[in-house]
Amino acid sequence: MKHDEIIRILCADDHPLIRDGISFALGTENGMEIVAYAANGSEAIDGFTQHAPDVILMDLQMPETNGLQALKEIRQLDPRAKCIVLTTYGGDVQAARALKAGAMGYLLKTMIRKQLVDAIRTVNSGRKYIPYEIATMVAESLGTEELSPRELDVLRSIAAGNSNKMIAARLGISENTVKGHVKEVVAKLQATDRANAVFLAMRRGLLNRF
């Protein structure tokens, strides 16, 4: 980028306070301009089409179309689109999904004040920006097996405080089948027991539904 060029930014987040915070953080930066805001994924896609920004700041959890789906659709429109995901979720599962979908950066919202400007400049230059702690979590999870949809159902039921008998009744399966699923979940998450499995799943972001 030449010194006199402006990095044009699309900011997509459904919380006005976050949008205001980002606007404030970038307001004093030379060479950066927010050209559009979006409050949901659909508006983010429309904003990208209309303004062709250099960098997109994308929240993951938004109404109508979530950030992950919006990212996928934008990348279909333009595979060169540069997106930094902003999220409150630090789990490796969401990070891995976002990176697989084509995100070039991944920031927790708690990191915005200190790292946002560097992230934008890095991604705009064509390089990825993934904080060490996020990269470490993703790397550590590479050897673990993915849970099946049914195993996730069982895990969510455990997290809600249901017994095996209650889970069996809710899912319409036998109690022995539930026990088998619980055993698989514990093994795949490399947990010590069902309570530890829930803890690890929450830390990794496995129980988020988007």
State the CATH number of the domain containing residue 171. Answer: 1.10.10.10
| 72 and 174 assigned to the same domain | no
Model pTM score: 0.72
Q: Which domain holds residue 174?
A: 149-204
Two tokens at 143?
């050897």
What digits encode the pLDDT tens for the residues 44-89?
999 999 999 999 999 988 888 899 999 999 999 999 999 999 888 7
Cα 138 to Cα 20, 52, 144, 186, distances in angstroms: 30, 30, 11, 19
Range 179-189 average pLDDT: 91
Whether 73 and 28 share a structural domain: yes
Please report, rounded to a whole number, the percentage of residues in the chain having pLDDT higher than 90: 61
Partner residues linked to 11 by β-bridges: 37, 57
Average pLDDT, the chain: 88
> Is 97 within a domain?
yes
CA–CA–CA angle 93, 98, 100 (5° rounding): 95
d(CA 134, CA 107): 8
Please tell me the predicted confidence (pLDDT) of residue 174. 93
Q: How far is CA 108 from CA 14, 67, 91, in A?
A: 15, 14, 10
Is the domain of 157 the same as that of 190? yes
Q: Do 80 and 180 lie in a common domain?
A: no
CATH number at residue 79: 3.40.50.2300
